[in-house]
Structure 1
Amino acid sequence: MPRLRKREWIIALVAVLLTLTIGIPTGMALAAPSTPEGVNNQCDDILGSGTPEYMYCSWMAETPKDALDVVRFWTKDGNKKLEEAVPFPGPVLFCKDKNNKGPGMQDCADKDQVLCKYDQGVGKYVCKDTEGNVTNPPSKACLGGEFDCSRGEGSTTSDKPDGTPAPSSSAQPGNDVNGAPVEEDQAPVAENSTGPDEGQPLSTDETDDQTRALPETSAEPSAPADPEPTGQADPRPDASTAPQPRTTTPDKQALTPPNDATGKAAAAAVKLGMRVWIESELAPAWTAGKEQFDAAVASMAAQASRPGVVGVKFAQDLGYWGFKSADDIRKFVKDSSTALRAAMPAGRQLAVDVVVPELGCGASEPCQAAMRGKYPLITRANVEKYVLTGDVDHVNLSSGLFASEYSKWKVTPDKALRNQWITVRARGWDTRVHIGAREVGLAHSGPTNLTAAQAEAAAKLRVDLPLQAGVQTVMLWTHRQDWDGAVWRILDEGLKDNTLWKALKARKGLGRMAVTFDAGDPERGVAQDLTKLAEVFDTIYIHAQ
């Protein structure tokens, strides 16, 4: 277990901090030193100190400036703080019970647990039992010389007179990690074992039976769904007619990009250097039955076959409408993922839009409970089951949809945004999928009446904040769309600039902004509209006709 020397620790710390601050200008970094009271007000307010995400939040800087402050703190006065800093390796926990065959500390009694902490004065790990008595770790830990094995009761070694540990039986073949012999017919239990009988492998007959029972096109059996709460009855979709997984694999070589309005727009956007997604809604076709579902999948796959297309988005605000149960939503995502991946050219990605109302509540438990009760299919726990399973590659999380409801709990719109993005980052969504923001708060109907200062403040809140919270892209709704009896835009009518457009244009260099576009309803024309949008946006979601 090699350790860095003091100078190497200093160099490494400075390198990490500089990388987080300069190399990733819109990312997150280590938090600045805690306040004298030891309280992280932001994390307390957003998450509460008793939540699992709090620990991660407390080590995240809110802005690049915060990260720069961290560097300045440690490097001021000629690196005095760094020179004084002494790195300590983390604690190590052992189990001295030789019969404990489980992974980690599984089935380890308290009396057999040994906690070892690095002692700077001794220069080694010093171990203690659960009663606080100094003791020795298991014999195998003594081989490297980094643990103090020369004192205390409960030694598992037979030390030589000079204090050198005797050879450990664990070094011999056939012994487990604690040095206990393993019977020849006793296979070690894997930590992530998934067999049906507590991790035991299936017999040949059982394997054959289960293999025959699987659908022919499924790479793996679908996990049984846990019982989930159901929402209000929705007369539109009916999941009872949901299609079965595809039984044939389309010939990917035969796909020809269509030359319809969507196809022409995609080709034009690619020529302008934009990254292109094709978006549509598969849920209605999925609920209508296999024939319509297969046709919709084939159409999306053909659109995605055009060179330069990143992938397809097949659901908007997944679970917010169109479904009666969480089981149906999980099955819809699984079926859509399986079918699209089989039909599309290799390398194309899958995306969905989601909304999780409770994330805006922050630490307000009454607000969280109210949101979960009103929207049972899109609770945080349910949405994570839908989209953090490997079935999709990119998740756009909507914001700004529940401002009037948050106000009942005295949560302002800007606070709700901070609550949402800090929580998502603290829960590690970005380690499982590509995270994007779907922002609906910048579109307007009629001419823009924002001053330059107001537009800049709006851009900071709706674009800068998500990016600072670790979001990779911000997708803005919308270039142009008829909704609720009005036409909503980001630009003004006729592709005219406005104060908001100027604020967004100043952020073009980020390369992180996207916009939705309907090729069937352009402002002036597909070519003119796309050329204008390319002034700001690097990515475009084109609605399939």
Structure 2
Amino acid sequence: MRIRRALALSAALTVLAVGIPAATAFSEDGEGDCKNYTNGASQSDPQCFWMAPTSEDALKVLDFWTQNDNEKLKAATEYPVGWIDCKVEQCSAEGEGDGQAHGEGDPAPDGYVEDNTPPTCQDATQPCSVSPEEIAAAARTAAGQAIAAAAASGMRVWIDSELLDDYKAGTAAFAAAVKKVGALAAQPGVVGIRFTSQLGYNGAVKTPDEMSAFVKAAATALHQIAPGKKLGIHTVVPSFGCGASEPCTTTMTKKYPLLTPQAIEPLLTSGSVDQLALDSGLLQTAYATWKITPQAAQANQWGKVKALAWDTLVQISAEDAGMAGKNASPFTADQAATLAQDRIAAPLKDGAATVNLWTRWQDGTGATYRVLGAGLANTPAWEQLDKLEPLQRRLTTMYNPASPEVGITQDVKKLSEVFSQVYVTD
């Protein structure tokens, strides 16, 4: 009778395609587990017997399903699995293709034509692709040449752009700016795009909602036109430098209402950005009122980043311009060593993923600030950076090809001696 019930249950389980308990469903592989025949099928169809290899296992299965007046069997439903007809030995000729299997690298079937039609944009007012002609034209620009030089030097390349002004100027201006960035981002060696700097600090946006809307719009457009590229923003969170000082936090929150942790964090959790660069400019002087030294303010900042676990949301980088000086870096070798410890080693130790050093820029009066000397001459500050070889994979810099020091190729080659990543201004 028990054998008859087992046979009946086996038939029922086959029809229902239910799974048996995990503890008894599988046993270790052994000889004879699979045989190349089935009931009434051809010898090419294998039958495997993993579910109940012994009579004791079969009885355990039977007991499981027949407990409480077959309660589990009555409640069983079809197991969600796809079925394959193993007797089909040739692909169907219906649909696309020629019905034959092809390996990687095999020539395409006769008559096959590659579809190079650009994708249809979900939003007709926004660009979602760039043409080969636009990519080729971008390669000939100063930015394109800088990207090529950096890639040839083994540097990771990000595009440094400012899309906020174009976003505020309207749909046409924003679309044109995004397309320009997209063509540059398509150049070999580009891994990311920083699409705004000083966000919330320079007065270009007035409310957290406006700031969030811009970041979302820019990220959406860039994800369409430059899929796979990382996206970054640059700003500062002044209250981070306060540490435990409540008067400092209150003052900074009131003075910079768009730059609170509550306003910035939604940008990081939205999926819109992959990298946040925190500027170090305020850390040097803004906290003296509360007797907070620059070193303490910097440590406070990275302590807050860790406390909020922002580094689990996006890559957090430090940004600093303190090693440059007007015309050339003025620091002695000892001063440069101290600066390297304070501005590079300390933030990296405290949790910064990278440190972005400004090595050359011009202010509103036309004065040039450099870490190097004129004509790419070495300085004690540069020589100190050159000694930081163990850290150089974490060192990044900015480069504006519109105003080269000597020439784009020469400038980038020099930067590659110290930096592993460069942000090329578009």
Same fold (TM over 0.5): yes
Distance 1:333 1:250 in 2: 17
Q: Which residue is equivalent to 2:128?
A: 250
How far did 1:485 drift? 4.9
Tell me the C-alpha RMSD between the 2 structures: 2.1
How far did 1:446 drift? 3.2
Distance 1:507 1:464 in 2: 9
* 2:126–2:221 contact (8 Å) kept in structure 1: no
Q: Which sections of structure 2, spanning at least 5 residues, go unmatched?
A: 1-70, 73-119
How far did 1:478 drift? 3.0
How far did 1:250 drift? 2.4
Larger radius of gyration: 2
How far did 1:480 drift? 3.3
Q: Which residue is equivalent to 1:384?
A: 265
Q: Which has the larger share of helix?
A: 2
How far did 1:483 drift? 4.4
How far did 1:402 drift? 4.9
* CA displacement, residues 196-241 of structure 1 (integer Å, 9 cap, x when unaligned): xxxxxxxxxxxxxxxxxxxx988xxxxxxxxxxxxxxxxxxxxxxx
Distance 1:339 1:304 in 2: 13
The answer on 1:463 being equivalent to 2:341 is no
Q: Could you tell me which amino acid in structure 2 is paired with residue 543 of structure 1?
A: T
Q: Which residue is equivalent to 1:343?
A: 225
* 1:400–1:413 contact (8 Å) kept in structure 2: no
Distance 2:398 2:150 in 1: 12
Which residue among 290, 294, 313 is the counterpart of 2:171?
290
1:401-412 counterparts in 2 under 5 A? 401-412=282-293
Which residue among 440, 446, 459 is the counterpart of 2:327?
446
Distance 1:399 1:246 in 2: 40
Which residue among 402, 405, 409 is the counterpart of 1:523?
405
Q: Give the structure-1-normalised TM-score.
A: 0.54
Distance 1:457 1:319, change over 3 A: same
Residues 289-298 or 495-504, more deviating: 495-504
Which residue among 348, 370, 377 is the counterpart of 1:496?
377
1:283-362 counterparts in 2 under 5 A? 283-321=164-202, 322-344=204-226, 346-362=227-243
How far did 1:247 drift? 4.7
> Secondary structure in 2 aligned to 1:480?
strand
Distance 1:280 1:269 in 2: 17
Distance 1:493 1:542 in 2: 20
* 2:127–2:179 contact (8 Å) kept in structure 1: no
* CA displacement, residues 97-120 of structure 1 (integer Å, 9 cap, x when unaligned): xxxxxxxxxxxxxxxxxxxxxxxx
How far did 1:412 drift? 1.1
Distance 2:209 2:388 in 1: 41
Which residue among 532, 535, 538 is the counterpart of 2:414?
532
* 1:400–1:417 contact (8 Å) kept in structure 2: no
> Secondary structure in 2 aligned to 1:494?
helix
Q: Which residue is equivalent to 2:56?
A: none
Distance 1:505 1:443 in 2: 15
* 1:246–1:339 contact (8 Å) kept in structure 2: no
* CA displacement, residues 243-289 of structure 1 (integer Å, 9 cap, x when unaligned): xx765552356451411100011111100101111111001000010
Q: Which sections of structure 1, spanning at least 5 residues, go unmatched?
A: 1-171, 174-215, 219-244
* CA displacement, residues 116-171 of structure 1 (integer Å, 9 cap, x when unaligned): xxxxxxxxxxxxxxxxxxxxxxxxxxxxxxxxxxxxxxxxxxxxxxxxxxxxxxxx
Residues 276-285 or 435-444, more deviating: 435-444
1:130-529 counterparts in 2 under 5 A? 247=125, 250-252=128-130, 254=132, 256-257=135-136, 258=138, 259-321=140-202, 322-344=204-226, 346-483=227-364, 485-510=366-391, 511-529=393-411
* CA displacement, residues 63-83 of structure 1 (integer Å, 9 cap, x when unaligned): xxxxxxxxxxxxxxxxxxxxx
Q: Give the structure-2-normalised TM-score.
A: 0.68
The answer on 1:541 being equivalent to 2:423 is yes
Distance 1:297 1:379 in 2: 28
Distance 1:403 1:536 in 2: 25
Q: Could you tell me which amino acid in structure 1 is paired with residue 220 of structure 2?
A: T
- Count how many residue pairs are aligned between Structure 1 and Structure 2: 305
Distance 1:288 1:253, change over 3 A: closer
Distance 2:330 2:186 in 1: 42
1:70-85 counterparts in 2 under 5 A? none
Distance 1:532 1:250 in 2: 36
* 2:283–2:298 contact (8 Å) kept in structure 1: no
> Secondary structure in 2 aligned to 1:311?
strand
Distance 1:248 1:517 in 2: 28
* 2:162–2:196 contact (8 Å) kept in structure 1: yes
Q: Which residue is equivalent to 1:106?
A: none
Residues 529-538 or 395-404, more deviating: 395-404
Q: Could you tell me which amino acid in structure 1 is paired with residue 420 of structure 2?
A: D
* 2:158–2:191 contact (8 Å) kept in structure 1: yes
Distance 1:394 1:338 in 2: 16
Q: Could you tell me which amino acid in structure 1 is paired with residue 362 of structure 2?
A: Q
* 2:125–2:175 contact (8 Å) kept in structure 1: no
Q: Could you tell me which amino acid in structure 1 is paired with residue 415 of structure 2?
A: L
Distance 1:308 1:358, change over 3 A: same
Q: Percent identity?
A: 41
Distance 1:403 1:271, change over 3 A: same
* 2:127–2:175 contact (8 Å) kept in structure 1: no
